[in-house]
């Protein structure tokens, strides 16, 4: 797939996977969907759901996860909060334009342009937070989130991106 095609798929995912509402209870349920899928597939991941006000409403870390790993996940979340698109979408845009985070005025100490964080977008409200997964390659982190949100929202037809980039 070309960068344009990949970006179009990411834009479709973000358009389709919107919530009608999102509460702390929704965060708990969605987080558990992601963790259950990861455990079923024996994937050693961490999962975080963070609201834009900074409140972490769900957090899980597989054994062996470290504070350094958590900081990496926070950088991906910061990118979603700032740019209101998935961190994989940001990665693709930067690659397509041969740019870096610094070109966009973002410090790599606080932001990351790698897949694994996805916006929590509420219809007629906008982005209110982000879901993050870390522990796999960044495309698989992203795909695990997309699959889980699709299942949670009962959406069957969501285009997906698989494989390493």
pLDDT for 67-84, tens place per residue?
888 999 999 999 999 999
For the chain, domains (ranges, CATH) are 3-153 (3.30.450.150)
Confidence band, pLDDT 50/70/90 cuts, at residue 1: confident
pLDDT digits (tens, 9 = 90+) for 99-158: 999 999 999 999 999 999 999 999 999 999 999 999 999 999 999 999 999 999 999 989
Task: Provide the 10 A C-beta neighbour count for residue 108.
Answer: 11
d(CA 152, CA 16): 13
d(CA 9, CA 143): 12
d(CA 21, CA 23): 7
CB 46 within 8 A of CB 60: yes
Q: Report pLDDT for 136.
A: 93
d(CA 45, CA 54): 21
Closest by alpha carbon to 108, among 96, 116, 100? 100
Q: What mean pLDDT is reported for the chain?
A: 94
Q: Report pLDDT for 160.
A: 85
Q: Taking the complete model, does pTM exceed 0.85, yes or no?
A: yes
d(CA 148, CA 105): 32
């Amino acid at each position: 797939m070309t960068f344009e095609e990949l970006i179009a798929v990411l834009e479709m995912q973000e358009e389709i996977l919107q919530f009608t509402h999102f509460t702390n209870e929704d965060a708990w349920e969605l987080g558990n969907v992601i963790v259950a899928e990861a455990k079923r597939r024996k994937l050693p991941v961490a999962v975080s759901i963070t609201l834009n006000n900074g409140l972490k409403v769900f957090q899980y870390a597989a054994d062996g996860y470290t504070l350094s790993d958590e900081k990496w996940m926070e950088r991906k979340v910061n990118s979603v909060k700032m740019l209101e698109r998935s961190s994989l979408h940001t990665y693709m845009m930067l690659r397509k334009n041969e740019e870096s985070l610094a070109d966009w005025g973002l410090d790599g100490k606080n932001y990351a342009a790698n897949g694994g964080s996805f916006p929590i977008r509420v219809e007629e409200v906008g982005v209110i937070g982000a879901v993050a997964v870390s522990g796999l390659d960044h495309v698989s982190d992203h795909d695990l989130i997309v699959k889980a949100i699709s299942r949670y929202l009962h959406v069957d037809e969501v285009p997906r991106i698989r494989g390493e980039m």
